[in-house]
Amino acid sequence: MAIGRARQVNRGWSRYGIALLALILTSAVGVAVGKAALDPGTLLAILLSKLPFFHVTPWWPASFETILLEVRLPRVLMGALVGAGLSVAGATYQGLFRNPLADPYLVGVAAGAGLGAALAMVAPLPPGLYALGAVQVAAFLSALITVGLVYSLARVGRTTPVTTLLLAGVAVGSLASAATSFVMFAQGDKITVIYAWMLGGFNITGWQQVLLVAPYVAAAVIALSLLGGRANVLQLDEDQARSLGVNVEMAKLGLVLFATLATAAAVSAAGLIGFVGLVVPHAVRMLWGPDHRSLVPLSALVGGAFLVAADTLARAIPGSQDVPVGVITAFCGAPFFIYLLRQQKRSVF
Amino acid sequence: MDNALSIENVTFKFDDRPVLRGVSLELPAGGFLGLVGPNGSGKTTLLRIAAGLLKPSAGGVKLMGRPLEGMSRGELARQLALLPQGTTLPGNFTVWELVLMGRTPYMDLLGRERAADTEIVERAMEMAHCRQLADRRADELSGGERQRVLMARALAQQPRVLLLDEPTAHLDLLHQIAVVELVAELAREGVAALGVFHDLNLAACYCTHLAVLSQGRLVAVGEPREVLTAELLAEVFEVDLCLTSHPEGGPAVLLPHTGGHRNGRGTGQLAAAESLPSIDLPSPNGKPKSGATSAKP
Amino acid sequence: MRSITTLVLATLALVASACAPAGANSPATSATSQPTAASTTSQPATSGFPLTIIDDAGRSLTFTRPPQRIVSISASNTEILYALGLEDRIVGVDQYSDYPDAARSKPQVGSFVQPDLEKIIALEPDLILVTNIHLPTVLPELERRKLTAMVTNPKDIKGVPGSIEMVGRITAKQQEAQTLATSLRSRIDAVESRVKGATPVRTFYELSPQLHTAGPGTFVDDMIKLAGGASIAASATEQWPQLNQESLFLADPEVVLLADHEAGITPEQVMARPGWSTVAAVKANRVFTVDPNLTNRPAPRVVDGLEIVAKKLHPDRMP
């Protein structure tokens, strides 16, 4: 019958195509742009020379190869992963808390990660561990522990109401932030390094970090998409959700778990980048609807494209310094959010 | 044959305060049971227990002969649908998407809807008279439209038992009757229904049985004509109503008294202005009618 | 009673300054490189106290006698005080004053950035040494409480001896200050002349594993220049930028100086970073740790730092 199909206009496969195209295009531009002037011809040549069947005699300096393969490619890939991870987490939290202001850092992930990183940096660990990514791993684990703590604190009887989850997240997050500040204060000579870590960014991203982050983000995108139907139903009140046959507690747990994994992985690799997880889901909702089954994968694609574009823009600013990508996302995100607020006619949420 | 719903000796305490005391009720297959009673008598609590949302302190509920406790959520949702009152709906979902949520108990892991689901959703919307609202957003609906959308969603669950909490609230007369007629029709076709009503007349006209709750106890159950008596109304509802027979036959019709009677301690018509306490209202020309305080108009 | 004491002290001061060598109050040679020059006293060279100076923030301060109870809330000033033999006059230091070791046992007044005002006041100091970091926040609070504070802020390494002389002047340690300053200046000149004419060595000074570094206008940048190096962050637009990794590879530094070893960064780790094997400094095994306390603090040891860095950059020209 007609009604269902009429809705497919903006609900079909074409939107995935558009989002994917956006990601591919921004990634291509991201790989082509940088401090080193790599023309597309050279770029392609370098890439081809690394493939088994092509034999190209290099006319480029060795540093160009390093830059393309060890700096730009992982950097762009990480941008896409972090953008995707933060966006799906943000979309999920916005649905779970039924609050348009929810972002991925709401339940204490960021504060927990920061604390873990700070502790790892001040602890007298053998240098070899740092080379292996001790700080990143510590941040990741600490984030998970923090959210676990939040979740168990928020339990009331056998349920975890979202309001207590929110409050517990804010409380524990503040505690973790305070503890981090204390660590910085107590180890004053390490303030610079700790602060540098928290500023984050993709400047020193290598393949090792990408490989550490990719599985979690991928798992989260898949799981949260699959849980999308339940996420939709959870936006009704819990009575309605239960009477529709959804195991509300398990669904909440699953959503929080995977959203946290993605955010923890993102923050441990790239620090705190704001606005992506907040704004991208709203944009996708405006374009393509609030159904989480499509909102999640689309947010992943659009979020990845957005962050890659922001980082590319940051790198295109003249000068040898690395402009923090969070500055760019804030400059883009804040006006967009104001625009959203002014949409009085219909709320996006 | 098992009754569609068997409520067996259900007691419910909220923080040691008894809300329901040993209520037993049977909803036969094809029955349409109206649950009535004054505010605070425990109707909504009983309904939620019947829906499996609350666990009774004592006693149990059986659905088609099977205890609710033994059923998984999904199984329960495929057989029993609840139409709650005054619910929140996420504003940015369309009516179509909301009614589709009624298919959740049937959807697979991926949550993708199939053609069958689409058809069922469309039919449900037709039955609930909201098909034309399919593309409207939830926050654009009127109260009555919302109610119909919720009805459609409940129907999309393809339940054997329908539980309704004041389904006629916020509806205009046309739709009130339409909804109750629909439920009665569904009952005849095999979807047993248990509905909480405030409008005794409407319930009496369409329900096969009425059950009256008062202070957590079941005080009367049976056919409407038997249950609705002046004594019961006076005792349970604390009202003195005028009972008269329905012109077309059928259960008694309840009407408030007119002309000078003051009814009970509860609601009822208040007779004359002199029974109002004295209030100083300014008269049109600025002087108070009586009393000291003069208020500027 | 007080007027007699003042008279006695003033006499002693006059006598003391009369015994001082004539050149004690010569203008600091660093005056040319400092816009807000710590100028000499406005009085003839032979007089001592009362003394009016202009500190590095352009504030005019008058001392009727040399301060006896000094609080230093920056590690660099603490080092200067010790170097001038003023240990006994130090009544309080900030928690980061760690050199020399003896400084750690002095009463602490809190952190460098947020000193505890109560503690400072309780120590009844007649002089508090601050730096330009304290200008917006701490200094106004001290002035409001009528405490005497002096700002030291040498703009570059060559300005450090001048700072030392300024402190020496007001504490009646001109002799020691002059000796020290002269020695420092000659060592700086020695380094300069040794590396003169050599091609500047491309240098990267790493402050964090995220590649934060010292940009133009910083002390570190100045030191690298003096030591015969060229900082690869020279085209950055900020003082403490994060160097883009691509830029680093493009600039191909010949020497890497690590100031972030407390974060567990070792030369081995740096050389093992993906892609860094192509960097000149890694190929030549010229990745070194430096003690940031020797390169960041405007104190006598900064010249030690300069010599160390110069040796790393030009090993063939330095002893």
Please report whether residue A36 resides in a domain: no
Q: What is the pLDDT of residues B66-82, one digit of tens each?
A: 899 888 888 999 999 99
Number of residue pairs across A and C with CB atoms under 8 Å? 124
Q: Which of A61-65, B141-145, C36-40, C74-78 has the lowest mean pLDDT?
A: C36-40
Please report whether residue A52 resides in a domain: no
Per-residue confidence (pLDDT) for residue B178, from 0 to 100: 86
Contact A320 C272 (CB under 8 A): no
Q: What is the pLDDT of residues B224-258, one digit of tens each?
A: 888 888 888 888 888 888 888 888 877 778 887 77
What is the Cβ-side half-sphere exposure of residue B19, based on CA atoms within 13 angstroms?
19
How many Å separate Cα A33 from the centre of its chain?
Answer: 22
Please report whether residue A173 resides in a domain: yes
Helical packing angle, A191-199 and A162-186, nearest 10°: 140
Per-residue confidence (pLDDT) for residue B154, from 0 to 100: 94
Per-residue confidence (pLDDT) for residue C301, from 0 to 100: 94
- For the cut 60, the answer to whether the pLDDT of residue A176 exceeds it is yes
* Window 105-134 of B, Cβ < 8 Å to A: 105, 107, 109-112, 118-119, 121-122, 131, 134
> Of C299, C315, C295, which is closest to residue C224 (Cα–Cα)?
C295
Taking a C-beta distance cutoff of 8 angstroms, is the pair C76, C298 a contact?
yes
Buried b (16+ CB within 10 A) or exposed e, B54-65: bebeebbbbbbe
Per-residue confidence (pLDDT) for residue B284, from 0 to 100: 65
Contact A130 C263 (CB under 8 A): yes
Which residues from A are below 8 Å from B97, CB to CB?
232, 289-291
Q: Shortest CB distance from B104 goes to which of A1, A3, A245?
A: A245
Q: What is the pLDDT of residues B176-199, one digit of tens each?
A: 888 899 999 899 888 999 999 988
For chain C, the average pLDDT equals 84
Structure tokens at B130: 């909201």
- Report the residue of C246, C250, C276 to disrupt the A interface, i.e. the one with the largest count of A CBs within 10 Å: C246
3-state secondary structure chain B: CCCCEEEEEEEEEECCEEEEEEEEEEECCCCEEEEECCCCCCHHHHHHHHCCCCCCCEEEEEECCEEHHHCCHHHHHHHEEEECCCCCCCCCCEHHHHHHHHHHHHCCCCCCCCHHHHHHHHHHHHHCCCHHHCCCEHHHCCHHHHHHHHHHHHHHCCCCEEEEECCCCCCCHHHHHHHHHHHHHHHHCCCEEEEECCCHHHHHHHCCEEEEEECCEEEEEECHHHHCCHHHHHHHHCCCEEEECCCCCCCCEEEECCCCCCCCCCCCCCCCHHHCCCCCCECCCCCECCCCCCCCC
- In A, minimum Cα distance to C210 occurs at A204
Q: What is the pLDDT of residues A258-278, one digit of tens each?
A: 999 999 999 999 988 989 999
**Partners for B (CB, 8 Å, 3+ pairs)?**
A
Give the distance from residue A334's alpha carbon to the nearest chain C alpha carbon, in angstroms.
24
* Cα gap B136→B176, rounded to integer Å: 22
Give the distance from residue C163's alpha carbon to the nearest chain A alpha carbon, in angstroms.
24
CB under 8 A, 24+ apart: contacts of B245-249: B246/B205
Taking a C-beta distance cutoff of 8 angstroms, is the pair A179, A122 a contact?
no
- For the cut 80, the answer to whether the pLDDT of residue C154 exceeds it is yes
3-state secondary structure chain A: CHHHHHHHHHCCCHHHHHHHHHHHHHHHHHHHCCCCCCCHHHHHHHHHHCCCCCCCCCCCCHHHHHHHHHHHHHHHHHHHHHHHHHHHHHHHHHHHCCCCCCCCCCCCHHHHHHHHHHHHHHCCCCHHHHHCCHHHHHHHHHHHHHHHHHHHHCCECCECCHHHHHHHHHHHHHHHHHHHHHHHHHCHHHHHHHHHHHHCCCCCCCHHHHHHHHHHHHHHHHHHHHCHHHHHHCCCCHHHHHHCCCCHHHHHHHHHHHHHHHHHHHHHHHCCCCCHHHHHHHHHHHHHCCCHHHHHHHHHHHHHHHHHHHHHHHHHCCCCECCCHHHHHHHHHHHHHHHHHHCCCCCCC
Question: DSSP for C74-85?
Answer: SHHHHHHHHHTT
Domain ranges of chain B: 5-222, 239-297
Residue ranges matching CATH 3.40.50.1980 in chain C: 10-187, 198-313
- For the cut 70, the answer to whether the pLDDT of residue C20 exceeds it is no
Q: What is the pLDDT of residues C97-129, one digit of tens each?
A: 988 999 999 999 987 777 888 889 999 999 999
Per-residue confidence (pLDDT) for residue A344, from 0 to 100: 52
- For the cut 60, the answer to whether the pLDDT of residue C28 exceeds it is no
Contact B121 A4 (CB under 8 A): yes
Per-residue confidence (pLDDT) for residue A345, from 0 to 100: 52
Q: How confident is the model at residue A123 (pLDDT cuts 50, 70, 90)?
A: confident
Per-residue confidence (pLDDT) for residue B274, from 0 to 100: 44
- For the cut 60, the answer to whether the pLDDT of residue B283 exceeds it is yes
Which residues from A are below 8 Å from C263, CB to CB?
121, 130, 190, 193
How many Å separate Cα A311 from the centre of its chain?
Answer: 13
Structure tokens at A108: 């204490």
Supply the ipTM of this predicted assembly. Answer: 0.81
- For the cut 50, the answer to whether the pLDDT of residue B273 exceeds it is no
Q: Shortest CB distance from A1 goes to which of B94, B105, B122?
A: B122
In this structure, chain C runs to a length of 319
What total number of domains does chain A contain?
A: 1
> Of B259, B212, B249, which is closest to residue B232 (Cα–Cα)?
B212
Q: Which residue has the higher pLDDT, A85 or A190?
A: A85
At the second CATH level, the architecture of C10-187 is 3-Layer(aba) Sandwich (3.40)
Whether A contacts B, i.e. 3 or more CB pairs less than 8 A apart, is yes
Q: Are strands C70-72 and B253-256 parallel, antiparallel or unpaired?
A: unpaired
Per DSSP, what are the bridge partners of residue C242?
Answer: C212
Per-residue confidence (pLDDT) for residue B161, from 0 to 100: 94
Tokens 């807000």 locate to C36
Q: Shortest CB distance from A204 goes to which of C111, C211, C250?
A: C211
Q: How confident is the model at residue C37 (pLDDT cuts 50, 70, 90)?
A: very low
- For the cut 90, the answer to whether the pLDDT of residue A347 exceeds it is no
Domain around A333: 75-342
Give the distance from residue C316's alpha carbon to the nearest chain A alpha carbon, in angstroms.
28
Q: How confident is the model at residue C4 (pLDDT cuts 50, 70, 90)?
A: low
CATH of domain B5-222: 3.40.50.300
Q: Which of A201-215, B99-113, C145-159, C189-203 has the lowest mean pLDDT?
A: B99-113
CB under 8 A, 24+ apart: contacts of C20-23: C20/C46, C20/C48, C20/C174, C20/C175, C21/C175, C21/C178, C22/C46, C23/C178
- For the cut 90, the answer to whether the pLDDT of residue A158 exceeds it is no
Q: How confident is the model at residue A217 (pLDDT cuts 50, 70, 90)?
A: very high
Per-residue confidence (pLDDT) for residue C16, from 0 to 100: 44
> Of C152, C157, C100, C131, which is closest to residue C302 (Cα–Cα)?
C157
Give the distance from residue B233's alpha carbon to the nearest chain A alpha carbon, in angstroms.
32
- For the cut 70, the answer to whether the pLDDT of residue A348 exceeds it is no
Per-residue confidence (pLDDT) for residue C23, from 0 to 100: 38
Whether B contacts C, i.e. 3 or more CB pairs less than 8 A apart, is no
Give the distance from residue B229's alpha carbon to the nearest chain A alpha carbon, in angstroms.
36
Contact B104 A233 (CB under 8 A): yes
Mean pLDDT confidence for C84-103: 91
Q: How confident is the model at residue A105 (pLDDT cuts 50, 70, 90)?
A: very high
In the CATH hierarchy, which fold is given to the domain comprising C198-313?
Answer: Rossmann fold (3.40.50)
Task: List for chain C the helix, strand, coil content (%; round to 5).
Answer: 45, 15, 40
Q: How confident is the model at residue C24 (pLDDT cuts 50, 70, 90)?
A: very low
Q: How confident is the model at residue A168 (pLDDT cuts 50, 70, 90)?
A: very high
* Count of CB atoms situated within 10 Å of the CB of C194: 19
Contact B118 A4 (CB under 8 A): yes
Q: What is the pLDDT of residues C247-294, one digit of tens each?
A: 999 899 999 999 987 777 889 889 988 889 989 999 999 999 999 889
Q: Shortest CB distance from B134 goes to which of A3, A236, A289?
A: A3
- For the cut 80, the answer to whether the pLDDT of residue C48 exceeds it is no
Mean pLDDT confidence for A152-159: 88
SS3 (DSSP) at C35: coil
- For the cut 80, the answer to whether the pLDDT of residue A113 exceeds it is yes
- For the cut 80, the answer to whether the pLDDT of residue B297 exceeds it is no
Contact B88 A237 (CB under 8 A): yes
* Cα gap C109→C72, rounded to integer Å: 9
Give the distance from residue C133's alpha carbon to the nearest chain A alpha carbon, in angstroms.
16
For chain B, how big is the Rg over CA atoms in Å?
23
Mean pLDDT confidence for B93-103: 93
Per-residue confidence (pLDDT) for residue C237, from 0 to 100: 81
* Cα gap A177→A113, rounded to integer Å: 10
- For the cut 60, the answer to whether the pLDDT of residue C45 exceeds it is no
- For the cut 70, the answer to whether the pLDDT of residue A6 exceeds it is no
Per-residue confidence (pLDDT) for residue B149, from 0 to 100: 92
Per-residue confidence (pLDDT) for residue B259, from 0 to 100: 63
**Partners for C (CB, 8 Å, 3+ pairs)?**
A
**Which CATH number does the domain housing residue A182 bear?**
1.10.3470.10
Per DSSP, what are the bridge partners of residue C213?
Answer: C206
Please report whether residue A96 resides in a domain: yes
Structure tokens at C110: 């809190």
Per DSSP, what are the bridge partners of residue B218?
Answer: B213
Per-residue confidence (pLDDT) for residue B288, from 0 to 100: 46
